[in-house]
Amino acid sequence: MKPNRRDFLLAATAALGLPKLALAQTGFAPLNARTANIRLLPEKYGETQIWGYNGSAPGPEIRVAQGARVQRRVINDLPDATSTHWHGIRIDNAMDGVADLTQDAIAPGSSFQYDFVAPDAGTYWYHAHNRSFEQVARGLHGALIVEEPEPIDIDRDEVLILDDWLVDPETAQIADTFGAMHDLSHAGRLGNYITTNGTYNLALPVKRHERLRLRMINAANARIFQLALDGLEGWIVALDGMPLAEPRPIDGSFVLAPAQRVDLIVDVTAETGGAGHIVQIDRDESFSQVAFEVTGDATRARRDAPRALPPNVHAMPDLAEATKLELLMQGGAMGGMMGAMMGGQMSSMRDMMQSGNFWAFNGAVGGMDGAPLAAMSRGETVRLKITNDTAFPHAMHLHGMHFHEIAPDGSLGTLRDTTLLDRGEVRDIAFVADNPGKWLLHCHMLSHAVSGMMTWIDVA
């Protein structure tokens, strides 16, 4: 049972030029969250038990047309309560899938019907949102692709889900060390086995000069991927599903933080018989993350630079009238922990550690129980200054709305739903709070989210 069988089928359909929408679902197609034994590691190891949607990791690709309705019944056949979040979708709040905030967790043996419209084209994903630091790491995630109304000028569309797994090579099983204090208080749970679409060293056959759209999704709990191209030349055309106004040529490396997506349009420039690569740079070393084996000659010359993807229409923030908010991130090991205690809620280091909380927002351990960071009225512009006063990078994600990163010159920059702040970094973001409901704002290093790096915004 190959976890990426479905992706293979999709790729084959694309190559034959058959419409992918044949795979789009109507009615409440089931998404069955269950355990499964799959071949994750190489042959010489045993099979690995994962938790997967329909028993695969990644789960089935969901692909719909822009504006289409997505109807999925998540059936929980796991031993644990779960819920499903549709990351990056400007969704109806009741369908956002946040256990204990927008719905009750789905108990083992029961189900929940998700029913929403996907207003923006782009690359999104879905993942578990109850005990996500464990459930996402066990495999509960998949791609959600929303296609533009007009076809883009490419030869192939490939979804590449990057992930890392913490596995014990002796047993081939996922290390049951969820919530380990070191992961919570340092960089998060980092895996020792890196995959693309559930496969180590994924290799895809291509032809020279083929033009590929690569939709890359970082589904890892905490790993920040630094990537580069070799034998491929191309452009970044979208970030977190949102098209760039101008395709940005890739020169050097680019970064994909947890939960972020990047859409590339690349041309295969490697020679026939050779291979192009997406290269993963890990400190001073580089590895092939995905290989593109050039099995055939070009049938045409290289094309000109691609055009921008059609924009997803968002309300423009009014910076002059914006409500200003601040979020000070503190805590964690290596210096920051003491600073986080000054809020008074944590009288001692021991109290903080006993409660399993290592991080604070604005001087208090965050979560979804307390008051929201802010209560906004619908249509208000929010300008939020985020300060990372910790010794670790954090990938801050806002549910339900995309935000602009404010560029250094003060102008509205790229639209994103997840922004990476390096240690010591400050970032201003702005958005129009135009989607009513309770929206989480949290670090997508999932061990951080569960240990204090979480708050929410109420839009009424």
**What per-residue string of b and e applies to 433-460 under the rule 16 or more CB within 10 Å gives b?**
bbbebbbbbbbbbbbbbbbbbbbbbbbe
Instruction: Give the C-alpha separation, 371 to 377, whole Å.
Output: 16
In the stretch 247-266, what mask flags binding to ligand C2O with x, by CB under 6 A? ------------x-------
With respect to ligand C2O, which residue has the nearer C-beta, 138 or 399? 399
d(CA 152, CA 23): 19
- Minimum gap (Å) between residue 330 Cβ and Cu ion: 11
Per CB under 5 A, 445 contacts Cu ion = yes
Q: Which of 228, 59, 235 is nearest to 154 (CA)?
A: 235
Task: Work out whether 72 is an interface residue with ligand C2O (CB under 6 A).
Answer: no
Q: Which residue is nearest to ligand C2O (CB)?
A: 87
For residue 174, what are its two tokens?
């996922």
Contact partner at residue 445 from ligand C2O, Cu ion, none, CB < 5 to 8 Å by partner kind: Cu ion
Under the binding rule (CB under 6 A), the answer on residue 394 touching ligand C2O is: no
x/- contact string, 94-133, with ligand C2O (CB under 6 A)?
A: ---------------------------------x-x----
Tokens of 391: 């010794």
Edge-first strand listing for the sheet containing 254-256:
202-207, 285-296, 275-282, 225-230, 254-256
Q: Which of the listed partners (ligand C2O, Cu ion, none) does 443 bind, with a CB threshold of 5 to 8 Å by partner kind? A: Cu ion
How far, CA to CA in Å, does 115 sit from each of 83, 96, 171, 227? 14, 10, 39, 35
Choose among ligand C2O, Cu ion, none what residue 440 binds, the Cβ cut-off being 5 to 8 Å by kind: ligand C2O
Residue with tokens 């994600």: 397
Instruction: Give every CB contact of residue 72 below 8 A, 6+ residues apart in sequence.
Output: 25, 28, 29, 30, 31, 62, 84, 113, 114
Q: What are phi and psi of 9, to 5 degrees?
A: -60, -40
Residue of 6, 63, 72, 87 that binds ligand C2O (CB under 6 A)? 87
Strands 374-376 and 418-421 come out as unpaired
Q: DSSP for 255-292?
A: EE-TT-EEEEEEEE-SPTTSEEEEEEEETTEEEEEEEE
Q: Which of residues 6, 208, 277, 442 is near ligand C2O by CB under 6 A?
A: 442
Residue 277 engages ligand C2O in binding (rule: CB under 6 A): no
CA proximity to 266, closest of 253, 282, 279, 278: 278
Give me the 352-391 binding string for ligand C2O, x by CB under 6 A, dash otherwise.
----------------------------------------
Q: Where are the alpha helices (DSSP H) in 292-450?
A: 336-340, 349-354, 446-449
CB of 88 to ligand C2O, least distance (A): 8
Q: Which stretch binds Cu ion (CB under 5 A): 37-45, 298-306, 431-439, 443-451?
A: 443-451
> By CB under 6 A, is residue 420 in contact with ligand C2O?
no
Instruction: Tell me the closest approach of the beta carbon of residue 105 to ligand C2O, in angstroms.
Output: 14
Of the candidates 21, 22, 18, the one whose C-alpha atom is nearest the C-alpha of residue 148 is 21
Q: Which does 213 bind (CB under 5 to 8 A by kind): ligand C2O, Cu ion, none?
A: none
Cβ of residue 424: shortest distance to Cu ion, in angstroms?
14
Count of residues touching ligand C2O (by CB under 6 A): 10
Q: Which does residue 394 touch among ligand C2O, Cu ion, none (CB within 5 to 8 A, set by kind)?
A: Cu ion
Interacting residue with ligand C2O among 33, 440, 457, 459 (CB under 6 A):
440
CA count, 13 A, side-chain hemisphere, 197: 24
Report the distance separating Cα 71 and Cα 30, nearest Å.
9
Q: What's the rounded Cα separation, in Å, for the pair 5 and 396?
A: 32
Nearer to ligand C2O, 208 or 399 (CB): 399
220 lies in the binding site for ligand C2O (CB under 6 A)? no
Binding partner of residue 442 among Cu ion, ligand C2O, none, CB cut-off 5 to 8 Å per kind: ligand C2O
| Of 53-61, 327-335, 427-435, 437-445: span binding ligand C2O (CB under 6 A) | 437-445
Centroid of chain to Cα 403: 15
The β-bridge partners of 53 are: 33, 56
Q: How far is the CB of 96 from ligand C2O (least distance, A)?
A: 8
| Stretch 387-416: interaction string toward Cu ion, x if CB under 5 A | -------x----------------------
Interacting stretch for ligand C2O, rule CB under 6 A, among 43-51, 245-253, 316-324, 440-448? 440-448
Out of 91, 262, 448, 459, name the contact with Cu ion by CB under 5 A. Answer: 448
Cα 12 → chain centroid: 25
- Binding-site ranges for ligand C2O (CB under 6 A): 85, 87, 127, 129, 259, 397, 399, 440, 442, 444
The contact set with Cu ion (CB under 5 A) reads 394, 443, 445, 448
